[in-house]
Amino acid sequence: SYELTQPPSVSVSPGQTARITCSGDALTKKYAYWYQQKSGQAPVLVIYEDSKRPSGIPERFSGSTSGTMATLTISGAQVEDEADYYCYSTDSSGNLFVFGTGTKVTVI
Amino acid sequence: EVQLVESGGGLVQPGGSLRLSCAASGFSFNNYWMSWVRQAPGKGLEWVANIKEDGSEKNYVDSVKGRLTISRDNAKKSLYLQMNSLRAEDTAIYYCARGRGAHDYWGQGTLVTVSS
């Protein structure tokens, strides 16, 4: 089955830049989406279609892709950005979705 | 205001059945794909299934095929997940979410516990 691989954890100091990677073979052809999930809450969409930001999401969140890797960048991370982040995409068929393994972002 | 409210979770024995519901409001339900996503305790998110606007297309993660069935009633603005032959590994919070890839709205989730 298709898999999306993320680093388990990323640490960043307040005001610095955090980058979270997501690796998957089909990312060369399929969109990546990114979700933020804080403890005990439902996920929140922060990036869709590789690099688009939903309304209400701060500009410090950005997305990009290159080859088989998608990257979520938090520029000038804030304490409130501490959360688990998941990438999300489809397999090559476009019908079956999968979440990445998840990355815990710590802002300290 | 867009709202998604799940219900129907609870404790069920292995091999048992449960039907989850998701009541939608605040948007044109029949214009959107809808999805179910679950999260086992302390684990990551897992996409479970999705259904096209008119119900003509349904997709499932391999681990639930033949046991879980997604459906919708556009007149009632409701999404459903019929869960049969439940296993311990189905224990999770089940979220309904609007959309197919970009899930811009989520419910609060309903907990399903499969245990004897």
pLDDT tens profile A45-94: 999 999 999 999 999 999 999 999 999 999 999 999 999 999 999 999 99
Mutate to test the interface with A, among B39, B103, B108 (most CBs of A within 10 A): B103
**B46:A96 CB<8 A:** no
Cα(B52)–Cα(A6) distance, rounded to whole angstroms? 29
**A43:B103 CB<8 A:** yes
Cα(B101)–Cα(B34) distance, rounded to whole angstroms? 10
Question: Which residue spans within chain A are E strands per DSSP?
Answer: 9-12, 18-23, 33-37, 44-47, 61-66, 69-74, 83-90, 97-99, 103-107
pLDDT tens, N- to C-terminus, chain B (116 residues): 999 999 999 999 999 999 999 999 999 999 999 999 999 999 999 999 999 999 999 999 999 999 999 999 999 999 999 999 999 999 999 999 999 999 999 999 999 999 99
Q: State both tokens at A7.
A: 């680093």
Q: How far is CA A37 from CA A108, B27, B59, B76, in A?
A: 18, 24, 24, 30
